[in-house]
């Protein structure tokens, strides 16, 4: 193995181990009930690769690369870990309840303070209907730093089905998923989780990992 391949192998190890440890520590904390409340986020086990959602951006391009694609031909000096992602499952018309949820998500992001640059928010359009003009205007005015991504409905349903329990519908429930810098979707929040609970969990994840 030449020097460049050794360096790449090292960076892959350095990246994946802390993320795996962060997830493990988070799970152990949940199991030990260290958070003071039982109504926090739910771990996705096993984790789901973001690429399976096949999300696309406004230009019709893949929104996320797999980790292997992201690090292909990249030296340790060039590697720039992508931020953690908070993915909100929305629809074409973001009405009052949706806007309230997004408001608290934005406030949560702000309250991360110096850690806020390590996190990005994305609005996932889950239906086949384009965003209403009112929703476009709202997102541009109130959520200007939030990406808008598109998903094929059937692909999204199949990919998310195994992340939730029987009788749960992540899409109609507008769940919020957390993606780590490697591309693992490893946690989700339901409407039962308020902003304080989401902030507490995200803050702990950022504290446990130096990546992103």
Structure confidence by residue, pLDDT tens digits, 151-176: 999 999 999 999 999 999 999 999 99
Per-residue model confidence (pLDDT) at position 131: 97
Q: What is the pTM of this model?
A: 0.84
Task: Name, in order, each residue with C-beta under 8 angstroms of 44's C-beta and a sequence gap of 6 or more.
Answer: 163, 177, 185, 186, 187, 188
Distance of CA 160 to CAs 12, 45, 58, Å? 27, 12, 22
pLDDT in tens, 135-153: 999 999 999 999 999 999 9
Q: What share of the chain has pLDDT > 70, as a percent? A: 80
Residue 36 — very low, low, confident or very high, per pLDDT cuts 50/70/90?
very low
| pLDDT number for residue 37 | 43
Domains in the chain and their CATH numbers? 3-208 (3.40.30.10)
pLDDT value for 133: 98
- 111: pLDDT confidence band, cut at 50, 70 and 90? very high
Name the band, by pLDDT with cuts 50, 70 and 90, for residue 19: low
Contacts of 58 (CB under 8 A, 6+ apart): 148, 150
> Which secondary-structure segment (H or E) carries 5?
helix 3-31
**Which pLDDT score, from 0 to 100, does residue 128 have?**
87
pLDDT of residue 211: 66
pLDDT score at 210 = 66
pLDDT per position as a tens digit, 8-18: 554 555 555 44
Q: Could you give the CA distance from residue 89 to residue 124 in angstroms, rounded to a whole number?
A: 5
With contact defined as beta carbons under 8 Å apart, do 149 and 61 qualify?
no
CA dihedral 46, 126, 115, 36 (to 10 degrees): -60
**Most confidently predicted of 8-12, 24-28, 203-207:** 203-207
- The answer to whether the CB of 184 falls within 8 A of the CB of 211 is no
Most confident of 10-19, 61-70, 176-185: 176-185
């Amino acid at each position: 193995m030449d020097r460049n391949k050794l360096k790449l192998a090292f960076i892959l190890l350095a990246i994946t181990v802390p993320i795996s440890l962060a997830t493990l520590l988070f799970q152990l904390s949940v199991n030990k009930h260290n958070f003071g409340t039982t109504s926090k986020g739910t771990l996705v086990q096993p984790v789901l690769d973001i690429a399976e959602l096949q999300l696309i951006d406004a230009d019709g391009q893949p929104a996320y690369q797999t980790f292997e694609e992201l690090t292909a031909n990249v030296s340790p000096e060039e590697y720039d870990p992508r931020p953690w992602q908070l993915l909100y499952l929305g629809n074409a018309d973001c009405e009052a309840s949706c806007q309230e949820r997004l408001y608290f998500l934005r406030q949560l992001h702000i309250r991360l303070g110096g850690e806020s640059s390590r996190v990005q928010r994305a609005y996932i359009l889950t239906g086949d209907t384009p965003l209403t003009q009112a929703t476009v205007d709202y997102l541009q005015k109130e959520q200007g730093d939030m990406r808008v991504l598109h998903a094929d409905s059937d692909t999204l349903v199949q990919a998310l089905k195994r992340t939730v329990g029987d009788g749960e519908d992540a899409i109609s429930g507008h769940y919020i998923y957390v993606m780590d810098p490697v591309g693992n979707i490893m946690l989700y929040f339901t409407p039962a989780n308020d902003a304080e609970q989401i902030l507490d969990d995200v803050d702990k994840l950022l504290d446990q990992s130096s990546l992103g």
